[in-house]
Structure 1
Amino acid sequence: MQLLTALKAHFLAVQAGALFVCVGLMVVENGPGAVLEGIGAWIFAQVVIFPIAIATMPVGLGLRYLGGKVLGETYAAALASGVFVGCLGWLAITWDSRLTSDGVAIGLVFASIAGLIGGLVWAAFETSKQRIVQ
C-alpha cells in the first residue's frame, strides 16, 4: 500500500459514501425525483464532509492496513473495511439518539451500502494500473 495512493483512495471513498447517503436519504424521503436534490445536498455538505475525510485519514488507513494483513486480497480488505467503518460511523452518530430500532436498522443498511461503495472506490483506485502524466 503506497501512502499517497492510499490517502487519495481514502478521500475518494469517503466522498463516494457520503454521496450515496445524501442521494439515498433524499430519494427515500421524497421519491426517485429527488436525486438532484441529493446531489445538491452533497455539494453543500462538503463543508462538513471535506474535513471529516481529511481528519479520518489516519484511522481509515490504519483499518485498511489491518484489513489487508488479515484478509490479504485488496478487494476483500477494502470492502470489509468500508462496511466496518460505515457501520461504526453510523452507530457512533446514533449512540445517544432517540431513534427506534427500525430507524437504527435502516441507518445500518444505508451505512453498510455507503461503506461498500466507499470500499469499491478505494479498491478500484488502489488497484488502478493507469499512470497519469503530470
Structure 2
Amino acid sequence: MSEIASGDDLTLDVIDRLHAECPLLQSVNEAWFAEPIDDLSEELPAAFVYLDSDTAEGGAETLRPVQAATQMYGVWLVAPRDQFRELRKQVRAALFAHDFSPYHDPMEYRSGQQADVKGRYVWWLEMWSTDTHIR
C-alpha cells in the first residue's frame, strides 16, 4: 500500500482492509457497475467498492489552499442468503471507525439497503464516508 495523502481516494485501501478482515469474502474488487448485474463472474460472497462522491464543504481558506471534503464510498455485498448477515457483520467491524490515514477522519457508516435478490443471492449496498481536506 502506498502512502495516503490528504484528500486521496481510499478505494484501494478499503478493498485491502476488507480482504484482510473479512474471512467470508471470496472476492473483493473495485465496482464498475451502479446496479446489480446478471453476469457476475467473481466467486461469492464478494464485495465491490467504489468512490460514490467527493463533496466539498464550504469555501477554500484564504490564507492557505485547504478545503474540507467528504468522501462517500459504496460497498456492494453479494452473498448467499445464509451468509449475508455474518458477512455484513464482518464488513461493519472492518470499516466502522477505521482510521485509514492521518489525513482522513475515521470511517462512518451512512446507510445500507437491499438492492436486489437474484435467486439465492442478496445484493446489499452500504454507504460509508470519511472527512478529509483537499490541499
Give the structure with the higher percent helix.
1
Q: Could you tell me the TM-score, scaled by structure 2's length?
A: 0.36
Structure with more strand by fraction = 2
Larger relative contact order (CA 8 Å, sep ≥ 6): 1
